[in-house]
Chain A
Amino acid sequence: MTSEHPELDILAYLTDELDAAEATEVRDHLAGCPACAAEAADLRSISQHLSTRLKEIPPTLAVPPLVSARIERALQAERRQTKRRPFWPGLSVAVAAAAVVLVSFGVRPDLAESVAEIPIVGLVATPFLQPDYEVQLATMPPSTAASVGVAQRTEPNIAVTANGVKVVVTRLEQKANQTTLSYRAEGATLISGLRNLGDFAPMIEGNGHPATLYRLTADQRGSDVLFVVTFEAVPHVSGLELKALPLEGLPAQQKPWSIPLQ
């Protein structure tokens, strides 16, 4: 038996992470030291308990849907840079399940023509001076001064009620290098945290390729939550549709919904 208690090596001994000489030393010590033998039994017990119970992953440690979606977009962008074809054809079931909300854009030959299809009513002041919630998901390119087009819509054409919440898209602004979409969720309550925003947070896709989401802001206004999301520019907007897919990991089953915007 060695004179010093090898207490810091006992756990490594129990899991075969010591070299042969160290393991022999600890084994010999445990055989002659009741205190360390009891300590070893104690560590084995708590280790077994933790190995079992900590595998039951709580919802707070699940991958946030927006993190998943962000990584998938980054992979797709990487894929496009190297091979210029979809990273995975269409949106796979796995991607669809992880995707939070999908705003898909149809394609028209040029930006000017397609923007002109939406009534342009002029610039509207940003509603968010100090948003309740803001997340920057990618670095935005320098802003361009001029808008290519701004479309502000009214409720009858672009609202849908789903999951007890009425979603109304109010504004779409196209700049040369950014696309900004504004919408409100009536009867919704903003709860901080990406997962709770997920039901109304969009991803946009143009010609089969999702655009990078730069920034999402959300603001509680009475019984409504107002959202402004900024993406990389999507050059074609005809056939615009706002869609939400069921989310994994939410307590209540969410139903998919979509809003045809034209």
Chain B
Amino acid sequence: MADDQRFFTLYKQEEGRLWRMSLAIMGNEADASDALQESTIRGYRAFHQLQGGEVAFGAWMRRILANTCNQLLRKRSRQIPVEEVQADPDAFTPDVASDLGNETWMAVETLEEHYKQVVVLRFVNDLPLQDIAAALDIPLGTVKSRLHHALKLLRGRLSINA
């Protein structure tokens, strides 16, 4: 299979995960779409440099996406807030909730944006803590703190048998 087709096949396998990662970092569909497109083109151009074969493609593309997201965020001067912010009471609406499928996703949607980011990157994209820190361009300690707090919040909002 030619490299072009190989890249496309591998990309399509990862597209959903990359999209959700981009959405988590960028915060809205328009910016997430820009970041995913830009990173995909970068990945295509650098595909010949991929080390480790096809099994490494997903992690390789996630790194490119994380770098692209950070560059776009810096360019747009839209830094991820480090300070705690008040929850937006309109952020969780019944219409949105009804599309989310299960109560766990609904509970995640109630989290403030910076908590939701780390939860999605961790449990949807399965990123290690270090990679989340790199993706969001924040210290590792901040990732641990946010994730810990987010899990405590979710623990209180979900009925889970220990």
Q: Please give the residue numbers on chain A whose beta carbons come within 8 Å of chain B beta carbons, in ascending order.
A: 7-12, 15, 17, 41-43, 45-47, 49-51, 53-64, 67-68, 70-71, 74-75, 78-79, 83, 87-88, 92, 94, 98, 194
Contact = CB atoms under 8 A, between A and B. Distances in A.
Interface stretch (B12-20, B49-57, B62-70, B81-89): B12-20
Given A45-B160, A63-B19, A87-B4, A53 B41 contact: no
A150 B154 CA distance: 58
Q: By DSSP majority rule, is chain B's interface helix, strand, loop, or mixed?
A: helix
Contacts of B151: 11, 43, 46-47, 50
25 contacts: A11-B129, A15-B128, A17-B130, A42-B155, A45-B155, A46-B160, A50-B104, A50-B122, A50-B154, A51-B126, A53-B102, A54-B104, A54-B120, A57-B20, A58-B99, A58-B102, A60-B100, A67-B33, A70-B33, A71-B37, A75-B44, A79-B4, A87-B8, A88-B5, A194-B29
Given A12-B144, A41-B162, A71-B40, A63 B15 contact: yes
> By CB atoms of chain B within 10 A, which of A12, A42, A45 has the most?
A12
A49 B158 CA distance: 10
B145 interface: yes
B43 to A, nearest CB: 10
Contacts of A98: 12
A217 to B, nearest CB: 16
Contact of A9 (B4, B12, B44, B144): B144
B148 A78 contact: no
Interface of B: 4-5, 8-9, 12, 15-16, 19-20, 23, 29, 33, 36-37, 40-41, 44-45, 96, 99-102, 104-105, 108, 119-120, 122-124, 126, 128-130, 141, 144-145, 147-148, 151, 154-155, 158, 160-162
Contacts of B105: 53-54, 56, 58
Contacts of A10: 148
Q: By DSSP majority rule, is chain A's interface helix, strand, loop, or mixed?
A: helix
A43 B9 CA distance: 37
A75 B160 contact: no
A96 to B, nearest CB: 12
Contacts of A194: 29
Contacts of B160: 45-46, 49
Given A50-B104, A74-B37, A55 B124 contact: yes
Contact of A8 (B19, B29, B101, B145): B145
Contact of B36 (A12, A15, A67, A78): A67
B120 A46 contact: no
A61 B23 contact: yes
Contact of B101 (A58, A68, A78, A92): A58
B69 to A, nearest CB: 15
B144 A54 contact: no
B75 to A, nearest CB: 16
Nearest to A17: B129
A60 B40 contact: no
Given A8-B144, A11-B148, A88-B5, A53 B104 contact: yes
Contacts of B15: 63, 68, 71
A59 B95 CA distance: 13
Contacts of B45: 78
Contacts of A12: 129, 144
Contacts of B5: 88
Contacts of B124: 54-55, 57
Given A61-B20, A79-B4, 9 more contacts: A43-B148, A50-B104, A54-B105, A56-B101, A58-B102, A64-B29, A71-B33, A88-B4, A94-B9
